A and B are shown apart, each in its own frame.
Chain A
Amino acid sequence: MAVTDTTETTARKPRAPWLTLRRREAIEGWLFVSPTLIGFLIFFLGPLIAVVFYSLTEWNLLSQKSTYVGLANYTDALRDNPDFWHVIRNSVIFAAGLVPLNMALALGLAVALCRPGKGVVFFRTVFFAPVITSAVAWAIVWKFLLQGEAGAVNQMLAGIGIDGPNWLREPNWAMFAVIVTRVIKMVGLNMILYIAALQAVPRDYEEAARLEGANSWQIFRMVTWPLLAPTTLIIMVITTIGSFKVFDHIYLMTGGGPENGTLVLAYYIYEQAFEFFNIGYAAALAIIMFVIVLALTVVQLLLRQKGSS
């Protein structure tokens, strides 16, 4: 009997509540992140997965006919379409021109403007202002300044005896012009990042080096520059990604011309999707762009790891 009693007592014992403190905290946590999480799933991850599926179809938006074509869009782009490689070449030239120029200029400006002094705040503002300027206004003004003969840039060049080119009508000069105007627009952002990093460099290191007899260039080369490495990496990664994704600037200034000289990948994708309505093909190109940017980022990270070890 005693045994039975015991079992009954155990059975009647109140069960541990389901909502333990641990579970409660977990639920609260999920609830707190849910607005962002749901947004991420619906507006980011969902479309991202959808693009992969779209890229396997031939889908004309106008007729709304969609057929599964496997990897045909990819083979067409990579093997059969000469325009694609021309566009990749343009994107690479754009990035190769923009990234070093932007970073060198940003670093130079940051070094000049990182110490407090007279007029520093004014110049920082001047160089940062283009970043927050409307891209449309920026492009239109530059288009005006870069006219062939009547443009202000060529008028100024004529003043010092240089016969300037018709900037936006010659393929190579047009690429040069879009790179430089883009750099002037965006350099302020990288400048601010470098200023923050420079200000975080401990003064002691610099003083120690100076006591050892190092000159300013040696201090910069051997002390400051290595300490800026993490910032340099992050700036390089975001600037490279940004330069491969450039669209508005090209759309507004050259429309990909002249002679397709500034037709970059993002603009080409836009043209396929929103002018020709080839959604499947555009999706495949977007995936290719994603892979390129991802690969570049990984390479940069690996180089950094190799460099620090």
Chain B
Amino acid sequence: MTLTKSLPATALALILATPLAAQELRFTVWTGNDAHLAMLNGIAESFKESHPDVTVNFETIPAGDYIQKLTFQLAGGNPPDLGWMFEDSMPAFVAAGAVQELTPALEGAEGYDLADFSEPAMGLWKDGDAIYGVPFSTSPFMIYYNKDMFDAAGLEDPLALAAKGEWDMDKFREVAKALKDSGDAYGFEFKDGQGYDTRIMHAIMPPIRAYGGYAWNEGECGFNKPEAVAAITQLHEMIFEDGSIVPPGEQGDYFSGGSAMTINQISRASRMAEAGFNWGIAPLPTGPAGASPIIGQAGLVVFSESDKPELAKEFIAHMTSAENVGVMAQFFPPARKSVLESATFTEANSLIPAEQMAGVSAAINEGNVLPSHQNSPQIGAALKPKFDALWRADADVQASLDSVCDAIQGDL
């Protein structure tokens, strides 16, 4: 073969050979935060110790568009290999066969210790015994309070009340009203002020669980059962009689001093630095059913369309090893018991004192996730107009909740 003939052949061989040697994993996330991405890239870098030729590219899709764009990428033949997954989207992805089973890969990973993950935290990511996702963030909902407003009203704050065992739903109503009556701000704001729109479940489930109720269970709707009705009645009275919860159509942002309390996850503490008032976090108020902490989760999954599934699974095992879960704990509360109990976690958050972080650890250990369903989007759409009708001053709570159950029964 002459030189001129062999050159193109060699070039072709090189082009073909290169991608085989160096592999890329496409990893979709919904964070665009520089500190988060730097941490993720650090974990990808440490993966190179065992897989020198593998590059992991983190791609940010904003949370609001995440599921939509992800689904179109999967269906459009441009699939990422792995990514983050919202808790409420997970059942639909599992049911549709859009994510791969991880059990054998995790069990086979060296030194992984699968049993270290807290049992309730794994519930959402399994179908029977098969694991389809690994939670990387298990973040309990806590009460954020404006300490200055409590002091000004001469009230004990929720953390002090919780320490005395007096922080329950009745007390919650009492202080919310006292706060509203003594100042310009509302007593309580639902999560991010969206309790009547996109965050209905976040608004209603903490009290429903505190009263011992449930949303649905094995195809049966629980919203119109006595416990849930009692919980919603309390909320309804707080909104329309006491005027202590920011009512529908009004704004009362906690972070800018519009409300004295709100409910949110600890990641929101990052906003408190610039809030300009003294604050704290406390557990959710207990109810007739005792304490019932609620956690919100996000997990890691490998998509069925990935052409490098085994490599992607290895990366998930790497990312959720005890060591890396410890690294991620600075932003994302862990589901691994060993990390949860360690001092590194309670001291990891520079904004929240260790005594308040202890409450966070307890809530992760005992907390349950929000109700989830493979028809979540349909249930959400069917439920919303019925709740719109409930959140009116003259609404009959029992009748409204009956109609909620009628509306969602078909999707359950």
Are A169 and B391 touching (Cβ within 8 A)? yes
Partner of B71, one of A62, A149, A255: A62
Partner of B385, one of A63, A144, A258, A271: A258
Nearest to A168 among chain B residues (CB) is: B249
Known contacts A147-B250, A168-B249, A169-B249: A63-B96 contact under CB 8 Å: yes
For A277, what are the chain B residues with a Cβ–Cβ distance below 8 Å?
71
Query: How many Å from the CB of B172 to the closest CB on chain A?
Result: 24
Are A166 and B249 touching (Cβ within 8 A)? yes
Are A257 and B249 touching (Cβ within 8 A)? no
Q: Mark A249-287, 1 if CB is under 8 A from B, else 0.
A: 000000101111000000000010011110000000000
A159 to B44, CA, bound (A): 61
**Interface range for A:** 20 to 34
Are A166 and B381 touching (Cβ within 8 A)? no
- Overall SS of chain B's interface: helix
Q: Mark B373-393, 1 if CB is under 8 A from A, else 0.
A: 000011001001110110110
Partner of B98, one of A63, A167, A276: A63
A275 to B98, CA, bound (A): 16
A276 to B197, CA, bound (A): 18
A259 to B381, CA, bound (A): 10
Are B250 and A258 touching (Cβ within 8 A)? no
For B385, what are the chain A residues with a Cβ–Cβ distance below 8 Å?
257-260
Query: How many Å from the CB of A60 to the closest CB on chain B?
Result: 7
A171 to B388, CA, bound (A): 9
Kindly state whether residue B251 has any CB partner on chain A within 8 Å: yes
Partner of B388, one of A62, A63, A258: A258
A169 to B388, CA, bound (A): 8
Are B381 and A275 touching (Cβ within 8 A)? yes
A166 to B197, CA, bound (A): 15
A62 to B75, CA, bound (A): 7
Are B98 and A62 touching (Cβ within 8 A)? yes
Q: Mark B171-202, 1 if CB is under 8 A from A, else 0.
A: 00000000000000000000000001110000
Are A150 and B251 touching (Cβ within 8 A)? yes
Are A255 and B197 touching (Cβ within 8 A)? yes
Query: How many Å from the CB of B133 to the closest CB on chain A?
Result: 15
Are B378 and A276 touching (Cβ within 8 A)? yes
Query: How many Å from the CB of B3 to the closest CB on chain A?
Result: 42
Nearest to A275 among chain B residues (CB) is: B377
Kindly state whether residue B72 has any CB partner on chain A within 8 Å: yes
Nearest to A169 among chain B residues (CB) is: B249
Q: Which of A150, A151, A259 has the most CB of B within 10 A?
A: A259
Kindly state whether residue B309 has any CB partner on chain A within 8 Å: no
Are B250 and A259 touching (Cβ within 8 A)? no
Nearest to B70 among chain A residues (CB) is: A62
Are B75 and A64 touching (Cβ within 8 A)? yes
Q: Mark A215-233, 1 if CB is under 8 A from B, else 0.
A: 0000000000000000000
**For window 64-105 of chain B, which residues contact chain A by CB distance below 8 Å?**
68, 71-72, 74-75, 92-93, 95-98
Query: How many Å from the CB of B193 to the closest CB on chain A?
Result: 11
Nearest to B248 among chain A residues (CB) is: A169
Known contacts A169-B391, A271-B381: A60-B96 contact under CB 8 Å: yes
**For window 32-89 of chain A, which residues contact chain B by CB distance below 8 Å?**
60-64
Are B381 and A62 touching (Cβ within 8 A)? no
Kindly state whether residue A130 has any CB partner on chain B within 8 Å: no
For B74, what are the chain A residues with a Cβ–Cβ distance below 8 Å?
62, 64
A259 to B382, CA, bound (A): 10
Are A62 and B248 touching (Cβ within 8 A)? no
**For window 151-166 of chain A, which residues contact chain B by CB distance below 8 Å?**
151, 166
A259 to B68, CA, bound (A): 24
For A275, what are the chain B residues with a Cβ–Cβ distance below 8 Å?
68, 377, 381
For B97, what are the chain A residues with a Cβ–Cβ distance below 8 Å?
63
Q: Mark B240-254, 1 if CB is under 8 A from A, else 0.
A: 000000011111000
Kindly state whether residue A97 has any CB partner on chain B within 8 Å: no
Partner of B389, one of A144, A259, A274: A259
Are B197 and A148 touching (Cβ within 8 A)? no
A42 to B75, CA, bound (A): 19
Partner of B75, one of A61, A150, A169: A61
Are A274 and B388 touching (Cβ within 8 A)? no
For A63, what are the chain B residues with a Cβ–Cβ distance below 8 Å?
95-98
For B71, what are the chain A residues with a Cβ–Cβ distance below 8 Å?
61-62, 277
Q: Which of A62, A168, A275, A276 has the most CB of B within 10 A?
A: A62
For A60, what are the chain B residues with a Cβ–Cβ distance below 8 Å?
96
Known contacts A63-B97, A63-B98: A166-B248 contact under CB 8 Å: yes
Nearest to B304 among chain A residues (CB) is: A64
Query: How many Å from the CB of B401 to the closest CB on chain A?
Result: 15
6 tightest CB-CB pairs across the interface, nearest first? A63-B96, A258-B388, A148-B249, A62-B96, A169-B249, A260-B385
- 27 residue pairs of the A-B complex, CB under 8 angstroms, read A60-B96, A61-B75, A62-B75, A62-B92, A62-B93, A63-B95, A63-B96, A63-B97, A63-B98, A147-B249, A148-B248, A166-B248, A166-B249, A169-B196, A169-B249, A170-B392, A255-B197, A257-B384, A258-B385, A258-B389, A259-B386, A271-B381, A275-B381, A276-B377, A276-B378, A276-B381, A277-B71
List residues of A whose CB falls within 8 A of some B CB: 60-64, 144, 146-151, 166-171, 255, 257-260, 271, 274-277
List residues of B whose CB falls within 8 A of some A CB: 68, 71-72, 74-75, 92-93, 95-98, 196-198, 247-251, 377-378, 381, 384-386, 388-389, 391-392
17 more contacts with CB within 8 A, not counting A62-B92, A169-B388, A170-B392, are: A61-B72, A61-B75, A62-B96, A62-B98, A63-B98, A144-B251, A147-B249, A147-B250, A147-B251, A148-B247, A148-B249, A166-B248, A166-B249, A168-B249, A255-B197, A258-B385, A259-B385
